[in-house]
DNA sequence: TGACTTTTTATACGAACGTTCAGATAGTTT
DNA sequence: AAACTATCTGAACGTTCGTATAAAAAGTCA
């Protein structure tokens, strides 16, 4: 079930063979990703990560460095892929003649819903890890450099549709859009609780209502 | 500056005098509230809370019990007040002839923005603590019983305006509304980063754009 | 094969953790 | 004043934490 990861190995040998420890390293990072996503940085111990990845304690330090370094490595690992997906969605839209606000929001949101809904549990873990961090200003300086550039590209594209809109209102609307998007990934529980029926199983099941909500809110907020 | 707390003391003596340790207990709970809000449950040590409240280590245990108990006490302490504010807002609306969706959303989110913007740093801390917890399914079972009843009252009021709307879509829209509301309290930083200008200083400054966004999104999502 | 590098094991260290408690202190009641 | 209860102090307990490291094992290259 685990599809091949699209994360480049750190140091491939010139002849193409990966270094010996690369498999172990991936196992450690994957386990760390799952643990950090499940309970957050502080609640996870190196020993838990070691047990989860099936290696001994020292190996985690050998491949991951300090706990802080390990955490930042996990954070950084998949951002480029996610950014690329979002940029591709945007480029694809630009090929069309008429682009709506709904198209743009859908293009921004769907890659994230997509990876959170994939079969690959690692991508799901990463999506949940991000959801855990956005509510914490401690990690913003780090996230800023990784995610804001693409967000600004989308803001620029939206600004073409609404040239007279206040930039600050648009930035706020985008932040609210992201918060809505992430809340869907972070918790499926509450929607179940508030409506009688069981909610969709995967984040992708919320794609339509999410785009509706965010686009409707966005348009209303900036006018 | 610290205005009198509206939290009832635990065990007032029959003659009205508070028990001796009640002041200390409040100091401990306040300090715990600030610490938990700042960095989350796991990153805070009892010793930090003791230092923050200016008492010795044992006193924290004496008044707060175990760390888990202390945390749950802090969580529970202010919920009734917040629920009361929201119920009062709703009751005030019902006195009016015509109530709009905007009115209802404003009535729901304003008490929260209000306490997060107050001078009292303890209410601000509590608001941020809540923001930290909603993204964590571990605490949902606990939060559910405290907050969902009032949320359901608002859902019912909205349902009166839109009798034909799908309950599940409405529940989803409310969850997205709450997520938007909380994201404003959780982080002021990103909006600054995405627009050039500095953002409003307090959450209340976002009241209008937030109501616009959520009401516009809500109406669009359920139709 | 033997020298060399990379990886893994097993263990240890000091620090910090949550919790407990006997005894000191202070306030209240008789 | 004496007995009593509530509160606080200071120190200790056993555990777990992150990190470091010497030595063993495995793999690579001459």
- B172 near B222, Cβ under 8 Å? no
Task: Note whether A135 contacts B183, CB cutoff 8 Å.
Answer: yes
C1'-nearest nucleotide to the CA of A45: D17
CATH number of the domain residue B144 falls in = 1.10.357.10
From chain A, the residues in CB contact with B135 under 8 A are 131-132, 134-135, 182-183, 186-187
CA angle A7, A10, A11 (to 5 degrees): 135
What SS3 state is found at A170? helix
Q: Each residue's pLDDT tens digit in chain A (223 positions)?
A: 333 344 444 344 333 345 778 999 999 999 999 999 999 999 999 999 999 999 999 999 999 999 999 999 999 999 999 999 999 999 999 999 899 999 999 999 999 999 999 888 999 999 899 988 887 888 888 888 999 999 999 999 999 999 999 999 999 999 999 999 999 998 777 888 888 888 898 999 999 999 999 999 999 999 8
**Domain membership flag for residue A7:** no
**Domain membership flag for residue A13:** no
From chain B, the residues in CB contact with A167 under 8 A are 195-197
> How long is the CA B59 to C1' D10 vector, in angstroms?
12
Measure the CA–CA gap between A34 and A48, rounded to whole angstroms.
Answer: 11
Q: Each residue's pLDDT tens digit in chain B (223 positions)?
A: 333 344 444 444 443 345 778 999 999 999 999 999 999 999 999 999 999 999 999 999 999 999 999 999 999 999 999 999 999 999 999 999 899 999 999 999 999 999 999 888 999 999 899 988 887 888 888 888 999 999 999 999 999 999 999 999 999 999 999 999 999 998 777 888 888 888 898 999 999 999 999 999 999 999 8
Task: Note whether B213 contacts A196, CB cutoff 8 Å.
Answer: no
CATH number of the domain residue B71 falls in = 1.10.10.60
Look at residue B131 in the predicted model and tell me its pLDDT.
87
Q: Which domain holds residue B52?
A: 22-75
Distances (CA, A) of A200 to A188, B42, B169: 8, 31, 11
Please tell me chain A's helix, strand, coil percentages from 3-state DSSP, rounded to the nearest 5: 75, 0, 25
| Residue whose C-alpha is closest to residue B83's, from B182, B160, B170, B149 | B149
Neighbours of B6 (CB within 10 A): 11
The beta-carbon neighbor of B194 closest among A151, A182, A206 is: A151
Overall domain count for chain A: 2
| Residue whose C-alpha is closest to residue B108's, from B134, B88, B128 | B88
| Residue whose C-alpha is closest to residue B127's, from B137, B108, B113, B139 | B113
* A207 and A154 in a common domain: yes
Backbone angle region of A213, left / alpha / beta, with phi > 0 → left and psi within -120 to 50 → alpha = alpha
Q: Please name the residue ranges forming H helices in B136-202.
A: 140-161, 167-186, 189-194
From chain B, the residues in CB contact with A221 under 8 A are 209, 212-213, 216
* B152 and B61 in a common domain: no
**Domain membership flag for residue B5:** no
Q: Read off the pLDDT of residues A111-124 as tens digits, 9 standing for 90 and up.
A: 999 999 988 899 99
Length of chain A: 223
* A91 and A61 in a common domain: no
Look at residue B96 in the predicted model and tell me its pLDDT.
92
**Domain membership flag for residue B12:** no
* B85 and B64 in a common domain: no
* B61 and B85 in a common domain: no
* A181 and A129 in a common domain: yes
One-letter-per-residue 3-state SS of B123-137? HHHHHHHHHHHCCCH
Measure the CA–CA gap between B13 and B171, rounded to whole angstroms.
Answer: 44
Task: Note whether B187 contacts A219, CB cutoff 8 Å.
Answer: no
- A155 near A174, Cβ under 8 Å? yes
Measure the CA–CA gap between B209 and A171, rounded to whole angstroms.
Answer: 11
Look at residue B18 in the predicted model and tell me its pLDDT.
58
> How long is the CA A212 to C1' C18 vector, in angstroms?
48
Task: Note whether A213 contacts B173, CB cutoff 8 Å.
Answer: yes
């Amino acid at each position: 079930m685990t599809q091949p990861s699209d994360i480049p190995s750190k140091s491939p040998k010139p002849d193409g063979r990966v270094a010996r420890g690369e498999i172990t390293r991936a196992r450690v990072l994957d386990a760390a990703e799952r643990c950090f996503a499940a309970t957050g940085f502080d609640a996870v111990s190196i020993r838990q990560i070691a047990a989860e990845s099936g290696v001994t304690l020292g190996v985690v330090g050998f491949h991951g460095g300090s706990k802080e370094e390990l955490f930042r490595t996990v954070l950084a690992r998949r951002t480029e892929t996610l950014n690329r997906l979002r940029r591709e969605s945007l480029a694809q839209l630009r090929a069309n003649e008429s682009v709506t606000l709904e198209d743009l929001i859908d293009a921004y949101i769907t890659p994230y819903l997509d990876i959170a809904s994939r079969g690959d549990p690692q991508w799901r873990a990463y999506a949940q890890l991000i959801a855990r961090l956005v509510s914490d200003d401690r990690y913003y300086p780090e996230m800023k450099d990784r995610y804001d550039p693409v967000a600004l590209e989308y803001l620029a594209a939206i600004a073409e549709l609404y040239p007279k809109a206040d930039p600050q209102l648009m930035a706020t609307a985008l932040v609210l859009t992201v918060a809505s998007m992430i809340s869907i990934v972070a918790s499926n529980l509450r929607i179940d609780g508030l409506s009688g029926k069981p909610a969709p199983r995967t984040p992708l099941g919320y794609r339509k209502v999410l785009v509706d909500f965010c686009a409707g809110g966005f348009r209303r907020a900036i006018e």
